Structure 1
Amino acid sequence: MGTRQQSNDQGDEVMRNALKLLLPVLAAALASPLTLAKEGPDQYPNGAENFMAGALPPPGHYFINYLGYYSGDYRDTQGDRVRGVSVNATFDALRYIYVSQKKILGGDWAVHAIVPFAYQRLHTPGGVDSSFGLGDITIDPLVIGWHLPPDWHFAVGLDIYLPTGKWSRTRAGERIGANYYSLEPVVGVTYLNPRGFEASAKLMYNIKRRNNDTDYESGNEFHMDYLVGQHVGPWAFGLAGYYLKQTSDDRQNGQQVGDGNRGQVFAYGPAIRYQHRGMSFIATWNHETSTENRFQGNKFFFKFVTAF
């Protein structure tokens, strides 16, 4: 009995020491309203784009609303679950797109902006912390799209993420924004043949700046959304998801953090779209797997698109 109690005490001490090391990492994780990542937030909502991800719409004004829910638990460097650390979030992001009549390099010039909001809850052995607030706004003044008849569509852009979101140095649960700028080159491609078969991908590379309040700089990341689907009349069905791989180490005060805290995740799941009178309704579910140094869970999206 005494040996067992001593073993339990030692185990508790190991867990407390591990959490002391882990919680600063988790604190930065909660900056994202859309995907609650590891040391620094995913300012882009992975999995947001699927059907026709590489095709700009015709010239005009468009509104997109992304409503979603995410729930997951934290995974360490080996991909093992960290006991007692989980998160869930409900989010809504409003996006405006303007596609002009102007041509650049033979393609259509467009601009867009995204304004996200989120309510999130962080669960740790120390308790539960929650918050609601504005996330980091995204702008892109230079999007160019090409349509190559009959089957191919391409788009490129440079998204700029602004540190507009709610953020606290001392409370992880108060962090909705990332508290740093980042740049993201974007390439989108869609293949849609006359028989309705579609393959789309949106490829991105996120270049993060330093968080000046913590002197923490998260590593850069390659990530992509993808879809393979079939269109049938006003309906479309497919397999959709996302992949993310961190390509450089996390650094704080100019030094590498641990083994670099490099994150990765792969997600997949069903997607369905219905179009009616210039409006699109899209629903997706993504299940995350092969995760390291991030939260792993499930994400649900309901996306509404309309011209105005």
Structure 2
Amino acid sequence: MKMLKKTKYIALFTLISTQVYAVENGVVAFPVGVHSVLNGLTTQPGENRVYNYTAFASANRINDSDGNKLPVKFKAQIAIEALRLDHGWETRLADFTLSSGIVATMLNTSITVGNQESNKFGMGNFTIKPIIFGLVNESGTLHQVFSPLDLVIPTGSYDKDRLANPGFHYYSWQPSYGYTWFPSTNIEVSGTVSAAINSKNKETDYKSGATVHLEQMIGYSISPTIQLGLQGYYYDQLSDDKLDGQVFLDGNRSRAAAIGPQIRYSPKPGVAMALKYQRDVIAENQSQGGKLWFQFSFPF
């Protein structure tokens, strides 16, 4: 009975069901998996910096709360292009540097559930990063970033009756902490801890539960410009989903983990690009598949 309800729910609420981008219907508002490249470094005072993220995600199954495949035809393919612009302020707060940023996204989504198929290309949601605190120790071996006020706003293309939606229709507060530690010249250990606390989707009366995310990377530089690494993430939903103010099903809590290789190329200081792949090894109450990322950043 629970499985039948879950299958009906997938078709009813018609939201994208891959853990790439948005927890309504197993979709997480935080872009889990993005943080694996020099997580603790931030924009310097007086500097402007661009970050570009390109991701291709695919999944051909959706799982129940035990991680078992649901008996429904499912396929998702999503291409994401995200552009982030940061500005470093000249003002400092004690030992902290200060910066701000904004992220804009475009998505091309293709979703099939049962006999329903939907495709949509459009603007995703904007993320506003009002204040970012940066801190580095005297030796330069430990860099830290605190971003307490990140807010995703529902500016993306959304229709509650459409299966594929580039945007999701609720606000999401996403505080985060990131670090990068260089224990030696050739070794990098970077990680990010973050959360997503979501408002209610007023179109569907659905409120997604809060999630916490851990992203981690360990890399070894085989030359001054090339680094090989292993990276991945884990996230867990801490509170229940609610529909019309009531707990939905058994809470519909999602949980996921992925791991994969990464290669980073840094042609000069301050410039970096990375190619990485993440394969889901845990997927509960959500889709299961993989993601390919290409990222780069440079000052201007």
- Tell me if both proteins adopt one fold, taking TM over 0.5 as the criterion: yes
Alpha-carbon distance in structure 2 between the residues aligned to 1:209 and 1:58: 33
Is 1:171 the equivalent of 2:170? no
What displacement does 1:102 show?
A: 1.5
1:293 aligned partner: 285
What displacement does 1:30 show?
A: 5.0
1:65 aligned partner: 52
What displacement does 1:18 show?
A: 5.4
1:77 aligned partner: 65
What displacement does 1:19 show?
A: 2.8
Alpha-carbon distance in structure 1 between the residues aligned to 2:18 and 2:281: 21
Q: 1:45 aligns with which of 6, 11, 31?
A: 31
Note the residue ranges of structure 2 that are not aligned, 5 or more in a row: none
Q: 2:112 aligns with which of 88, 106, 123?
A: 123
Is 1:113 the equivalent of 2:102? yes
What displacement does 1:101 show?
A: 2.2
What displacement does 1:207 show?
A: 0.5
Q: 1:271 aligns with which of 262, 268, 282?
A: 262
What displacement does 1:273 show?
A: 0.6
Alpha-carbon distance in structure 2 between the residues aligned to 1:84 and 1:125: 5
What displacement does 1:44 show?
A: 2.6
Q: 2:241 aligns with which of 226, 250, 253?
A: 250
Alpha-carbon distance in structure 2 between the residues aligned to 1:287 and 1:243: 12
Is 1:191 the equivalent of 2:181? yes
Alpha-carbon distance in structure 1 between the residues aligned to 2:121 and 2:17: 12
* CA distances 1:25-83 after superposition (whole Å, capped 9, x unpaired): 5x234598x43665263333211121210121433001111111000121111111123
The amino acid across from 1:223 in the alignment is H
1:307 aligned partner: 299
Q: Give the conservation status (yes or no) of the 8 Å contact 2:17–2:286.
A: no
Deviates more, 1:37-46 or 1:81-90: 37-46
Q: 1:99 aligns with which of 88, 108, 132?
A: 88
Q: Tell me how large the CA RMSD over aligned residues is.
A: 2.1
- More helix, by proportion: 1
Cα gap change, 1:30/1:290 in structure 2, threshold over 3 Å: closer, same or farther? closer
The amino acid across from 1:120 in the alignment is T
- State, as a whole percentage, how many aligned pairs show the same letter: 26
Q: Provide runs of 4+ in structure 1 moved above 6 Å.
A: 13-17
1:206 aligned partner: 196
* CA distances 1:224-258 after superposition (whole Å, capped 9, x unpaired): 22101112311111101111100000001110000
* CA distances 1:260-289 after superposition (whole Å, capped 9, x unpaired): 000010010001110114432110000011
Alpha-carbon distance in structure 2 between the residues aligned to 1:15 and 1:292: 13
Q: Give the conservation status (yes or no) of the 8 Å contact 2:57–2:77.
A: yes
Alpha-carbon distance in structure 2 between the residues aligned to 1:145 and 1:14: 47
Q: Answer with 1 or 2: which has the greater Rg.
A: 1
Q: Give the conservation status (yes or no) of the 8 Å contact 1:138–1:160.
A: yes
1:259 aligned partner: 250
Q: 2:77 aligns with which of 88, 110, 126?
A: 88
Alpha-carbon distance in structure 1 between the residues aligned to 2:236 and 2:10: 20
Q: 1:54 aligns with which of 16, 40, 44?
A: 40
The amino acid across from 1:121 in the alignment is S
The amino acid across from 2:280 in the alignment is E
Alpha-carbon distance in structure 1 between the residues aligned to 2:154 and 2:203: 12
Q: Which SS does the other structure have where 1:96 is aligned?
A: strand
What displacement does 1:197 show?
A: 1.0
Alpha-carbon distance in structure 2 between the residues aligned to 1:107 and 1:14: 51
Alpha-carbon distance in structure 2 between the residues aligned to 1:252 and 1:115: 29
Alpha-carbon distance in structure 2 between the residues aligned to 1:197 and 1:29: 38
Q: How many residue pairs end up in the alignment?
A: 293
Q: 2:275 aligns with which of 268, 279, 283?
A: 283
What displacement does 1:88 show?
A: 0.9
Alpha-carbon distance in structure 2 between the residues aligned to 1:14 and 1:256: 14
TM-score by length of 2: 0.92
Q: Give the conservation status (yes or no) of the 8 Å contact 1:53–1:201.
A: yes
Q: Which SS does the other structure have where 1:19 is aligned?
A: helix
Is 1:226 the equivalent of 2:187? no
The amino acid across from 1:198 in the alignment is E
